[in-house]
Chain A
Amino acid sequence: MIYHQYSGYQAFCQDTDTPAPWCSNSPPSIYTHVQSKYWGVGFLKYWTPQQLPNFLFAAPVLMLLSYYSTQSVCLFANRLFYKDKPRGLSPFEPQSLAPHGIHAFVFTSILLFASHTQIILRFAASLPFTYWSAARLLVEHPRLGKWWVGWSIVWGAVSLVLWSAFLPPA
């Protein structure tokens, strides 16, 4: 990751007569620069009426992760600050899941407020918390869980058709 930044700095700031404007930033990160300039990434920059369909595409994953990750963070905070004893009832609430919950919360917040929100459809697979949340939904709220399974099958098939025809979401 650092080498990637350094190679960009070397190419556009050191090995050239006219350094790029971002070279004087602190830190001089080419990644931050290109994400902002070419992909329009920034806090609430994606929150425009034109992007509403992308938010709707991502809504099921966003809602699932937001709900359960917030719950996980709150549970951990209660245990830490109010010394709540672990209830030991749900297998989805062990202490060891706390870092996953916090990670998912931070991740979802970044994608919701400062990214192309629909990419959560791709990134969610790298979070095991997504599937633990889906399993929890299926066990604790079977009707909603069945909706999740149905949506996953239908959206999965639709996204493959869109991919094949080179249509968004990317």
Chain B
Amino acid sequence: MDVGCVRPVGMTQRCETHRRCGTNWRSRLPLSATMTGDGLRKRHRKQLLIFTLASHVLILLLLFLCSYLPLFDSSPWAVLDKSTTSWATSSLLRWDVFHFRLAADVRMYEHQWAFFPGVPTFMGLLGRIAPSDNWATSLQGGVLLAIACDCTLSLYDLSLHHLKSTSLSFLSATLSLLPSSPATTRYAPYAEPLFAWASYRGDFPPQLHFTLTQRPPGMLACTRSQWALASVYFCLAGTFRSNGILLSGFILWGVLVEPFVRGRTVSHLLYKRTYICVYCRRSWQLHAFPTPLP
């Protein structure tokens, strides 16, 4: 991949003149990085959307060609009707997808508890749409859900926040279109795409912050705290995979560790937030229950 030349957004002039800047990454960034602002981000998003669609088409094309290969394990045909099921549907039924789909009906055996309830629940709900052929329906519905949860643009936004560079964010998001397991992360109804989506959304406080600041102040700022919403996303991620519990570290980091590292005391921060909430609640009470006139 050819990368060209310019400093990322937000770098200072002091750093610009530093000798290591010139020899390290600065000379290898794309020329498009000079076009900062919304226009460039919009163009990147459009390009990423096209790349994402192209990657899905390529994956489908390759799977279509591979559908002529003999199966090492023919168990998909034990539950699917060979005469009516397309190659696209039958190629979804591999490995954990069996367990997810079986757990969607009923959990009878101990080993079924190794699979968290997120994906089985979705597949079970989708299977009820067409009870006569619920295996095929839940598989196809699962794929649509997995595709809808594509994380490429979320990764781009997240990268913009952390890397402060449009070109590096674009590069990272483009590289995510070459995953190490395209079948499970971009095609099959696995837990991975849903887990990744919930994780990415949960760790994206800037967007939530912008949303909050654009809305009128008041109770909204109290009830829709960014950490609370992040917790919801992380809880959702926890219904797909056990390692969702590790995501709680991001909240602990933001609430406890980061203020400490930056030299702000936690008690001061908590005091500030508590004051805002108490103030908001009082304002709301005065608004909702005005004092009756004497």
Binding site for B on A (CB under 8 A): 1, 3-4, 7-8, 11-12, 20, 30-31, 33-35, 37-39, 60-61, 79-80, 88-92, 94-100, 102-103, 106-107, 110, 120-126, 128, 130-132, 134-135, 138-140, 142, 145-146, 149, 152-153, 155-157, 159-161, 163-167, 170
Contact = CB atoms under 8 A, between A and B. Distances in A.
Contacts of B176: 125, 130-131
A30 B243 contact: no
B72 A166 contact: yes
27 contacts: A1-B245, A7-B107, A31-B242, A33-B110, A34-B111, A91-B163, A91-B168, A92-B163, A121-B180, A123-B192, A125-B176, A125-B181, A125-B185, A125-B193, A126-B192, A131-B172, A131-B173, A132-B163, A134-B175, A135-B175, A138-B1, A140-B25, A163-B63, A164-B66, A164-B183, A165-B69, A166-B72
Contacts of B71: 165-166
A44 B13 CA distance: 50
A87 to B, nearest CB: 8
B210 to A, nearest CB: 16
A159 to B, nearest CB: 6
A78 B264 CA distance: 19
A34 B99 CA distance: 14
A95 B261 CA distance: 10
Nearest to B183: A163
B66 to A, nearest CB: 3
A130 B32 CA distance: 24
Nearest to A96: B162
Interface of B: 1, 3, 8, 11-12, 15, 18, 20-21, 24-25, 28-29, 59, 62-63, 66-67, 69-73, 75-76, 91, 94-96, 107, 110-111, 113-114, 116-117, 151, 155, 158-159, 161-165, 168, 171-173, 175-176, 178-185, 188, 190, 192-193, 195-196, 199-200, 203, 238-239, 241-247, 249-250, 253-254, 257, 261
B18 A89 contact: yes
B114 A170 contact: no
Query: Top 8 nearest A-B pairs by Cβ distance?
Result: A164-B66, A152-B178, A126-B196, A163-B183, A125-B185, A99-B253, A121-B180, A170-B95
Contacts of B200: 128
B111 to A, nearest CB: 4
Contacts of B116: 1, 4
B196 A125 contact: yes
Contacts of B96: 170
Contacts of B69: 161, 164-165
B92 to A, nearest CB: 10
Contacts of A4: 113, 116-117, 239
Contacts of B164: 91, 94
A148 to B, nearest CB: 8
A144 to B, nearest CB: 12
